[in-house]
Amino acid sequence: MASSAATAPSKAQRPLQIAAAWRGAWERWLEAERHQLVLWIPVALGAGVAAWFVLPDARSWTAALLASLGVSIAALAGLRGGRGAMVIAAAPLGFALGLGLIWWRAEAVRAPVLARAAIVGVEGRVTRIQPMPARELTRMWIAVEQWNGRVRADMPFRVRVNVDEDDLPTGLIEGSRVRVRARLMPPAPPAVPGAYGFARVAWFEGLGATGRALEVTVLAPAPGGGEGIRTRLTRHIEARLPGSAGGIAAALATGDTGAIADDDAEAMRRAGLAHLLSVSGLHITAVVGIVMALALRLLALSPALALTGRVPLLAGAAAAGAAIGYTLLTGAEVPTIRSCVAALMVLAALLLGREAVTLRLVAAGALVVLVAWPEALAGASFQLSFAAVTAIVALHEHPRVRALFLAREEAWWRRVLREGGSLLATGLLVELALMPIAVFHFHKAGLYGALANIVAIPLTTFVVMPLEAGALALDAIGLGAPIWWLTGQALQLLLWLATTVATAPGAVTSLPAMPRGAFGVMIAGGVWVALWRTRARWAGLAPIAVGAVWTLSTPAPDLLITGDGRHLAWRGDDGRLALLRDRAGDYTRDTLAENGGVDGELAALSETRAARCNQDVCWTSRQFGARRVTLLATRSHYLIDAGAFIDLCRRVDVVVSERRLPHRCRARWLTFDRGALQRTGGVAVTLTNAQITTVRTPDDAHPWIMRSGGEFRQVCLERALGRGCSAADRRRGWRGRGAPSRLRDGSI
């Protein structure tokens, strides 16, 4: 008994033993996953980049940077070797490198941005031209040399303008020096919370203004005196195949999508086939495969060369040259460069006798992109492409999946079933992997995309692209017409497939803007499942489920207001969204519908039963709980009697106007006027949970955020709905005296 008591651990030793046991289990798990640890280097780097986009200002960026470096140094100093210490030290270091890299990149590309909309005259050199015949305009990028006849260092260095086809002068090509009179405006922020934010993209592209040209004059021709090969090839293809078929053919060859009709482009998106229109991994792979297969067969015709054993090396070199040339031809955009780098790494692995397509290759490609263009992480293109490739490779690296779909000697019908099952399983997994990203960026999730891609990808890769390449080659001797006809028929089949799938019942499910937190936990869970190999990987399903439930339980907004105050969408008693202005443009309609979780056309507010509208204002209401919520909004520029309008303000719950309203115009709950919306940007109001979401927040100091005065006057919604006001709401500081009134003869 004495011996047993002596060997029993004391209460002080027990926590140390538990910690040692946990550390031992952790070390054994990391040892089992040792081959996967390197895959987390780009993940740590990407986490740092993402943190810079999420955190609001330099103070928080600095704190995160110092904290991560501190953890890394402490791990190196305080832990005794082992893989656990290595992971604890390396992960925060990668995080800090990613955060510092994107911060440096954002400052390195800093350039002046136009402060406000203006009609100006600019002179400069055209750096890029994108014809868009489907919209009857041409888009051009100008490196600005003079503003209104003067050299000004405080004005944007690069602008983008749209030119109507009727106003397009002869001789306008890339490299031309032009004088343009245009209405320019700053790059647009998101119209409403969750919408696409062009201001961020423009910042990293160095664009300081965008707009529409009113008059274009060519001052000097391009130094070369002719159009570039990309423009000439695009025009040649569109001349051979008119309409959207020619636009898709041009997109496959040069990356130019301007000739694709809006309806057909929307059908491709709804069917889950939009990735075929953006030159990326699929197209690079097809080019590399076609060139390498042809090179292998042609070079093998020489017995002397075949006996040297260098045929695969030469064929790989030819395929690498084709990949680089195709990337340059299509404009060398970031997604294309990313795919080209991956293709070159695959070719190098093949020539070295290594397994070509692995998760290490995917990680290396992601690392190259994040180091060169860290801002790409925030874009849908990067997320979609790497999510798809990672899901495909992770699936086929699994031993059971590899054994099931491995090529073998068997009857033809078994081979067809096996390969078809492989395509279907891959397509379904890719759809599941891409669904959170599609919902976050586009607020839509396709249901039939996997089935459509089973037909569309082989059709594009093995039929359309080889036929198009053959037609272009035969055009050199004037014999390409028959092949162009076959190419057109194949493209019409692709468009028919897209239209059929897009219009099928339940083809697309629309959801309101996904919370960033839900998106983050789903991505983290997906990466965890994809990169580990032991049973611990399945723990990643928990955050995926949490993110999915979070997204589906997020209520749709009841009121959406664009940043300029001109447009709003109000959800009525029937749950449908209705627009304030009857003549809102297609972009505005689509943006409000998507972020409101609606698939289809929006009604006009003036035509709803609960609304009372005239030319200048609209009044409407909605039953919410035990009371009726009322809204008042202006919808014209005409003067309104100030006294009558102020009296209306006091009798409604929410007031929205694109004008500056008098201080006495105070609604019971919320008042949004021009001054308020200049500070908040677009607004989404959800009455179900009394939440207000704004595009801009008071502490957001990212460099593309433009500051302006004004604030909206808010009575805490929780109190208005009888739920009390939280401390967080009181700290927001939104309550203020509002914008100054502007009265003219008793009118507003």
**360-377 pLDDT, tens digit each:** 888 888 898 899 899 999
Nearest of 188, 185, 206 to residue 198 by alpha carbon = 188
103 dihedral zone (left: phi>0; alpha: psi -120 to 50; beta): alpha
Rounded-to-10 torsion of CA 16, 19, 20, 22: 160
Pairing of strands 158-164, 209-220: parallel
Under 8 Å between Cβ of 159 and 173: no
pLDDT at position 553 over 60: yes
Q: Is 515 helix (H, G, I), strand (E, B) or coil?
A: coil
Buried b (16+ CB within 10 A) or exposed e, 280-319: bbbbbbbbbbbbbeebbeebeeeeeeeeeeebbeebbebb
Position 227 confidence tier, pLDDT thresholds 50, 70, 90: low
% pLDDT > 70, the chain: 90
Cα separation, 266 vs 261, in Å, equals: 9
Q: What is the mean pLDDT of residues 674-687?
A: 89
Beta-bridged to residue 128, according to DSSP, are 141
C-alpha distances out from residue 210 to 257, 330, 560, Å: 20, 23, 25
Distance of CA 22 to the CA centre of its chain: 41
| Alpha-carbon radius of gyration of the chain | 29
Under 8 Å between Cβ of 186 and 115: yes
Cα separation, 412 vs 420, in Å, equals: 12
Furthest C-alpha separation in the chain: 104
Global pTM value: 0.84
Q: Copy the structure tokens of residue 423.
A: 């395509």
Q: What is the mean pLDDT of residues 248-267?
A: 85
Residue 420, C-beta contacts closer than 8 angstroms, at least 6 positions apart? 454
Segment (H or E) for 623: strand 617-624
Single-letter residue type at 579: L
Cα separation, 58 vs 103, in Å, equals: 9
3-state secondary structure 668-706: CCEEECHHHHHHHCCEEEECCCCEEEECCCCCCCCCCCC
Confidence (pLDDT) at 69: 92
For 126-130, the CB contacts below 8 A with 24+ separation are 126/172, 126/173, 126/174, 126/175, 126/176, 126/177, 126/178, 126/222, 127/158, 127/174, 128/174, 128/331, 129/172, 129/173, 129/174, 129/231, 130/256, 130/258
Nearest of 592, 588, 589, 652 to residue 620 by alpha carbon = 652
Q: What are phi and psi of 611, to 5 degrees?
A: -100, 150
C-alpha distances out from residue 133 to 128, 244, 246, 331, 645, Å: 16, 10, 11, 19, 46
Confidence (pLDDT) at 282: 67
Position 491 confidence tier, pLDDT thresholds 50, 70, 90: very high
Confidence (pLDDT) at 709: 44
Q: Copy the structure tokens of residue 178.
A: 């032009």
Q: What residue segments make up the domains of the chain, in order of their start?
A: 23-108, 118-227, 516-553, 559-731
How many other C-beta atoms can be found within 10 angstroms of the C-beta atom of residue 84? 18
Under 8 Å between Cβ of 127 and 75: no
Position 736 confidence tier, pLDDT thresholds 50, 70, 90: very low
What secondary structure letter does DSSP report for 271?
A: T
DSSP assignment of 543-580 equals: HHHHHHHHHHHSPPPSEEE-TTSS-EEEE-TTS-EEES
Residue 24, C-beta contacts closer than 8 angstroms, at least 6 positions apart? none
Position 708 confidence tier, pLDDT thresholds 50, 70, 90: low
pLDDT at position 521 over 90: yes
Position 737 confidence tier, pLDDT thresholds 50, 70, 90: very low
C-alpha distances out from residue 698 to 199, 208, 316, 595, 706, Å: 18, 23, 55, 22, 11
| CATH 2.40.50.140 at 118-227, yes or no | yes
Q: How far apart are the first and last CA of the chain?
A: 94
Nearest of 184, 57, 176 to residue 119 by alpha carbon = 184
Q: Is 292 helix (H, G, I), strand (E, B) or coil?
A: helix
Across the chain, mean pLDDT equals: 83
Cα separation, 140 vs 439, in Å, equals: 31
Position 738 confidence tier, pLDDT thresholds 50, 70, 90: very low
Which residue matches tokens 């990212």? Answer: 702
Please, how many CA atoms are within 13 Å of residue 291, restricted to the half-sphere of its CB?
21
Is 358 exposed, middle or buried, given 0-12, 13-18 or 19+ CB atoms closer than 10 A?
middle
pLDDT at position 60 over 70: yes
Cα separation, 497 vs 492, in Å, equals: 9
Q: Copy the structure tokens of residue 272.
A: 């889950």
% pLDDT > 90, the chain: 29
Confidence (pLDDT) at 730: 37
Position 550 confidence tier, pLDDT thresholds 50, 70, 90: very high
Nearest of 596, 559, 565, 518 to residue 717 by alpha carbon = 559
Confidence (pLDDT) at 28: 84
Confidence (pLDDT) at 75: 81
pLDDT at position 134 over 50: yes
Under 8 Å between Cβ of 330 and 279: yes
C-alpha distances out from residue 446 to 269, 431, 622, 677, 745, Å: 9, 8, 32, 34, 55
Confidence (pLDDT) at 259: 84
Cα separation, 571 vs 710, in Å, equals: 27
Give the tens place of pLDDT for each residue, 317-349.
Answer: 888 888 888 888 777 776 777 778 878 887 887
Cα separation, 725 vs 286, in Å, equals: 59
C-alpha distances out from residue 157 to 85, 109, 142, 182, 212, Å: 48, 11, 8, 15, 17
pLDDT at position 698 over 50: yes
Q: What are phi and psi of 163, to 5 degrees?
A: -120, 125
Cα separation, 490 vs 668, in Å, equals: 61
